[in-house]
Amino acid sequence: MELSQRLRNLPPYHFAAYNRKIAELTASGVDVINLSIGNPDLPTPPAVVDALIESARQPANQRYPEYEGMLAWREAFAAWFERRFGVSLDPRRQLTTLIGSKEGLAHLPLAFMDAGDVALMPNPAYPVYPTSVALAGGVCYDLPMDAESGWLPDLSAVPADTLARAKTLWLNYPNNPTGAAAPLEFFERAVAFARQHDLLLIHDMAYAEVHFDGARPPSILQVAGASDVVVEFHSFSKAYNMAGFRLGMMVGNAQACEGLTRLKSNIDTGIFRPLQIAAIRATQLPETWIDERNAIYQRRRDTLVEALRALGLRVASPAAGLYLWPQAPAGETSAEFALRLLDQAAVAITPGTNFGSRGEGYLRITLTAPDERIAEAAQRLRKALA
């Protein structure tokens, strides 16, 4: 028995030994504070859970759901999107319901890329993007990003022969892993670039509702005419602490929405109706709920930023997202430093190289742990690195 060539061609799983070490330490009784995974620890709003429970008891909601999602759910999300971004979407043609945004990101290249097609891929980037391109037989062309550019790619640097083979352009703001935000002016340039070169621009906006200090990250669909060439992914995992619900949405270009829905109808079934009803309730929560939740994340951000800077590590204070992206100390690779923190402080963080070669020299630290664990992690870091 042999795995398929497709699976064997996937990029290697980064830092598997590190994850095994976390598991071994935990099994041996070591109190590891895991700040390596962006898994929201805060509870789902009670009103959302109540809506789930009540609707799950109704026999009509226990049958197979609609592939494209309930119209009531799509209308509710379109209304939420217009309130939040001032952009009107057709709920029948410009929305595709997803089993979490990760599932949609993984499947979209199968609908729009053929073997040998090129994906213009930021580096560093969320690993699902290049993996999904590889599964579709595509090839990634790196768009290097760095702190000096604000973690924005230079689209003008892509060679003409690469552009001739390119089918998709991938962007993600607020960014995972760097925490960078993109101004609307950059989105305007990106949309014009995609239109000029006949690209499907894929924008992952999973962290749209996690923002600090008065920031309000824009949607790329706020650019006039963007839906001609753009799809944007949204996630209820991060927006409303609903990670286990597995519910997301792709919005924008109608042809792309139809194509992904057609693909999904052949490989999965629609979302359990009570989950959609719960998500409808989430879209009706007052803005104050978002503000109060974000205040907790902001407090954690400030605690860790202060601790890291006190230790001499360079780290920006992000205006959005769930991650810090500090630089490793001079003379240590990302992996070496992460291992040292695990050994000396029992604090687990993610090496930047898990997100591509341009992540070398950086580390990703999540804010998704209770305040007391964040404070304890900061104290352990001071002791280990003083």
**pLDDT tens-digit profile of 12-57?**
666 666 778 888 999 999 999 999 988 999 999 999 999 999 999 9
The count of residues in the chain is 386
Contact 236, 245 (CB under 8 A): yes
Cα–Cα dist 106/188, whole Å: 26
Retrieve residue 262's tokens: 């057609």
Widest distance between CA atoms in the chain: 62
H/E segment holding residue 46: helix 46-56
Q: Which amino acid is at 154?
A: D
Residue 67 confidence (pLDDT): 84
Angle at 250 between CA 247 and CA 254, to 5 degrees: 145
Residue 8 confidence (pLDDT): 81
Res. 301: pLDDT tops 90: yes
Residue 384 confidence (pLDDT): 85
Residue 6 confidence (pLDDT): 84
Residue 282 confidence (pLDDT): 97
Residue 106 confidence (pLDDT): 94
H/E segment holding residue 311: none
Q: Which amino acid is at 11?
A: P
Q: What is the mean pLDDT of the chain?
A: 94
Contact 345, 32 (CB under 8 A): no
Look at residue 233 and give its three-state secondary structure: strand
Mean per-residue pLDDT for 79-96? 97
Which residue is listed with tokens 């209304």? 79
Res. 11: pLDDT tops 90: no
Beta bridge partners of 123: 144
Q: Which residues contact 62 (CB under 8 A, 6 or more apart)?
A: 56
Question: What percentage of the chain carries pLDDT values higher than 70?
Answer: 98
Four-residue CA torsion sign, 284, 256, 205, 216: negative
Mean per-residue pLDDT for 109-120? 96
Cα–Cα dist 77/316, whole Å: 33
Res. 146: pLDDT tops 90: yes
Q: How far is CA 360 from CA 204, 338, 353, 355, in A?
A: 23, 12, 5, 9
Whole-model pTM: value is 0.95
Q: At 7, is the pLDDT very low, low, confident or very high (cuts 50, 70, 90)?
A: confident
Residue 327 confidence (pLDDT): 96
Residue 12 confidence (pLDDT): 64
Other CB atoms within a 10 A radius of the CB of residue 386 amount to 7
Domains and CATH numbers, the chain: 5-43+288-385 (3.90.1150.10), 46-283 (3.40.640.10)
Cα–Cα dist 10/359, whole Å: 19
**What are the tens digits of pLDDT across the range 100-111?**
999 999 999 999
Question: What percentage of the chain carries pLDDT values higher than 90?
Answer: 88
